[in-house]
Amino acid sequence: MEVEHWNDASDGALSEAAMARKLAARGYRVSRYVYPPGTVFPEHSHAVDKIDAVLQGRFRLCLAGRCVVLAAGDCIAVPAGMAHRAEVVGDEAVVSLDAVRAPGG
């Protein structure tokens, strides 16, 4: 499990549009979600490869026995079928881009 951090030098200034373009260029369909403080996602898995990217707030994701806290500009790949759980950390809502591998992507 490796967290990818936004790099202003190579990616430009962090924005929702820039992050969405970066994920789409990798073959992902992107949806935007806002999770209020206290949001918890119990352990679950997805049938497709996905990437969770954070634009605002702090989001703890636990995968393969390891937990990381994602902050603005961070993203992490979650392989299809991999059990994981997540939760909003702190008092700020999380603005997240949920990227799902597009067919043929």
**Contact by Cβ (8 Å): 17, 97:** no
- 70 SS3 class: strand
Summarize pLDDT for 25-75 with one digit per residue, the tens. Answer: 999 999 999 999 999 999 999 999 999 999 999 999 999 889 999 999 999
Whether the pLDDT of residue 21 is over 90: the answer is yes
Whether the pLDDT of residue 104 is over 90: the answer is no
Amino acid 62 reads: C
Q: pLDDT averaged over the chain?
A: 94
Whether the pLDDT of residue 102 is over 90: the answer is no
At the topology level, CATH places domain 3-101 in: Jelly Rolls (2.60.120)
Predicted local distance difference test score (pLDDT) of residue 105: 58
Predicted local distance difference test score (pLDDT) of residue 64: 86
- Alpha-carbon distance of 44 to 102, in angstroms, equals 20
What is the 8-class DSSP label of residue 24? H
Q: 21: Cβ–Cβ under 8 A, 6 or more apart, which residues? A: none
